[in-house]
Chains A and B, each alone.
Chain A
Amino acid sequence: MKKQKSEHELFIAKTKRKKVGIMAIQILLLVAFIGLWELAAALGWIDSFITSSPSRIAAMLGELSKQNLWVHIGTTLYECVIGFIVSTALGCIIAIALWWSDFLRKVLEPYIVVLNSLPKIALGPIIIIWVGAGPSAIVMMTVLICIIVTIISALGGLMATDEGKILLLRSMGASKWQILTKLVLPGSLPTFLSVLKINVGLAWVGTIMGEYLVSSAGLGYLIVYGGQVFKLDLVMTSTVILCFLAAVMYFAVALVEKLLKRR
C-alpha cells in the first residue's frame, strides 16, 4: 500500500516537473526574443527606426501613459467588448430561431451562405454613411464580422442534437420548448463555448479593422497614425498592448468555460 502511494507521488511529481518545464521554456522563449531584439537593435544589426526595440517600446509606453493612453485602450476595449457581446447574444438568438423553424432556416440559408463569404470590410463605407463615423460604426463592423460565423457554428451545434434523444423526449410528450430547453441548449454547451472562443479573436479583427477605416481614438487608430507618420515605436507599442489585451480577453473566456464546464 505504501509503495503504491509513493509510486503515485512519483507520477505526480513527474507530471508537475513536465508542466514546470514547459512553462519555463515558454518564458525563456519570450525573454530570448525580447533580448535578441534589444541586442540586435543596440549593436546595429537591425535599424531600430524601422523595427523599433523593446527599450524604445518601453519608453513610448511611459510617454503614452502620461498622455491619453487609457482613452485609447478604453475606446478599443469598449468597442470590442460591446461588439463581442452583441454579436454572440444576437447570433445565438438567431441560431435558435433558425433551429426552431425549418421554414425560416430553408428560406434564409442562401442568404447566410452569401453573407458568410462576403468580405465584411467591403461594407465599411456603407456602415459609415448609415451609422456615422465613430465608435458605433466600429461596433457595427465587429458585429457584422462575428455574427454570421456565430449563427453558422451555433446552428450547427443545435442541429447536431441526437435524433434519438429528441425521439425519447417526444415519446414522453415533450413540447418543442421543452426539447429546446432540456436537451438542445444544454447539449450545445460545448459548441457555445467554442463559439465564444472564435468570437474573441474575430471581435478584435472587427474592432481594429473598423478603427483602420474610421476612428479618432483607439489602438487601431494609434497603429494607423503611427504608420502614416512613420513612428514605428508607436505602431509596435500599440501592437504589444493589443497582444496583451487580446490575451487577457481570451483567458477571461477560458475562465468562463472552466466555470461552466464544472457544472
Chain B
Amino acid sequence: MEILRMDNVSLTYETVESETKAIENISLSIDEGEFIAIVGPSGCGKTTVLSLISGLMKPSSGTITLMGKPVDKPGAQTGYMLQRDMLFEWRTIEKNVLLGPEIRHTLDDEAKKEAEELLKKYGLWEFRKHYPGQLSGGMRQRAALIRTLALRPKLLLLDEPFSALDFQTRLSVCNDVHAIIKSEKKTALLVTHDIAEAVSLADRIVVLSNRPSVVKRTFEVDIDADTPLGRRENGKFGEMFDKVWKEVSV
C-alpha cells in the first residue's frame, strides 16, 4: 500500500535579497513498511523535503499526499525525529514520551498503556522516572524514538537522527533504531549525509543533486543481512557504498 506520494514538488525560499530554489520537481512514492533513505550533498535541501512532508512548510508547486490525503498542516500521520533528541530536561522520560499525545489531546489510558509497553519493550521502563540529564546519549536517542512512536505515526521522518552521537554509540543506536522500527512495522524516511548509514539501514536510497535538488538516481539496496551492523560486515556493502558515493559526489 502506498503511504506517501510526492508529485513534482518544488520549493522556493523567498528572502528580501534573493529567491532560492531549494528543491525542484521531486517525485517520490513510499510503500508501507519500506525504509527509504535520502542522501545528497550538504545543503541540498534534504531537510526541506522532510519539512514539506511533515506539513511544517508548504510546497511552492506540486502535491504531497499522505495516506491518500493532501498534506496541508502538521498532522497526526507523521512522527518527526530530529538530529538532537530534543528531550525536555524538566520532564521525566515518561512525561517526555507522552508529549505527543498530550499536545494532540489524546492522552488517555490507552496512550499511557501504549507508551508503557514501548518503554518496557525497549529497556527504558526502569528509567521512566529519570530525567534526560541522567541518561546516556544512546538511551536519550532511544527515548526520542519512543516519543516519536507514541504518536502512532504512519510515517517516521528521521532527520540525521544519529549525527549528534559519537561513532561507537552511533553504530549501536543505529542497530537499535532499525530493530525497533522493523519490529513496530513502521514506514520510515531517513535523511542523512552519511552514505554508510544509508546503505546499512535503507531498502531504497534516493540520491538528490545539488541545489536546486532533483532526484538524481534511486538505488535498491539488496544486501542480505538482518541488522545494519550485519550489512556493514557483508561483502556487498562496499560495492553498494561505492555506487552511491559516486552518484553523490559527481
Contacts and interface: CB of A to CB of B under 8 A. Distances in A.
Interface string B138-152: 000000000000010
B111 to A, nearest CB: 13
A94 to B, nearest CB: 24
Contacts of A182: 88, 99, 102-103
Nearest to B147: A168
Interface stretch (B23-31, B34-42, B70-78, B188-196): B70-78
A190 to B, nearest CB: 10
B56 A167 contact: yes
B83 interface: yes
A164 B84 CA distance: 8
A170 B90 contact: no
A164 B86 contact: yes
B90 A168 contact: no
Nearest to B151: A172
A187 B84 contact: no
B80 interface: yes
A263 B90 contact: yes
Contacts, number: 51
A178 B102 CA distance: 10
B167 to A, nearest CB: 22
A213 B150 CA distance: 61
Contacts of B75: 173
Interface in A201-221: none
Contacts of A173: 73-76, 103-104
Interface string B151-181: 1000001000000000000000000000000
A263 B104 CA distance: 25
Interface in A144-194: 162, 164-165, 167-174, 178, 182-183, 186-187, 189
Contacts of B157: 171
A164 B103 contact: no
B54 interface: yes
A189 B88 CA distance: 13
B163 to A, nearest CB: 12
A178 B83 contact: no
A182 B151 CA distance: 17
Contacts of B99: 169, 172, 182
Interface in A115-164: 162, 164
Contact of A170 (B74, B100, B151): B74
Which of B54, B84, B103 has most chain A Cβ within 10 Å? B103
The CB with the most chain B CB atoms within 10 A, among A164, A172, A173, A182, is that of A172
Contact of B88 (A167, A172, A174, A183): A183
Contacts of A169: 99, 103
A171 B88 contact: no
A151 B240 CA distance: 57
A172 B78 CA distance: 8
A223 B86 CA distance: 54
B82 interface: yes
A241 B80 CA distance: 58
A189 B103 contact: no
B137 to A, nearest CB: 16
A147 B103 CA distance: 33
B162 to A, nearest CB: 15
A148 B82 CA distance: 37
Nearest to A162: B86
B176 to A, nearest CB: 20
Given A182-B99, A182-B102, A171 B86 contact: no
A257 to B, nearest CB: 15
Contacts of A172: 74, 80, 99-100, 103-104, 151
Given A178-B103, A186-B90, A168 B80 contact: yes
Nearest to B104: A173
Contacts of B102: 182
A187 B89 CA distance: 8
B88 A165 contact: yes
A91 B86 CA distance: 29
A189 B54 CA distance: 30
A174 B90 contact: no
Interface of A: 162, 164-165, 167-174, 178, 182-183, 186-187, 189, 263
9 interchain residue pairs of minimum CB distance: A171-B80, A173-B74, A172-B103, A174-B103, A168-B86, A171-B54, A165-B86, A172-B100, A186-B90
Interface of B: 54-56, 73-76, 78, 80, 82-84, 86, 88-90, 99-100, 102-104, 151, 157
6 contacts: A167-B80, A169-B99, A172-B104, A173-B73, A182-B99, A187-B89
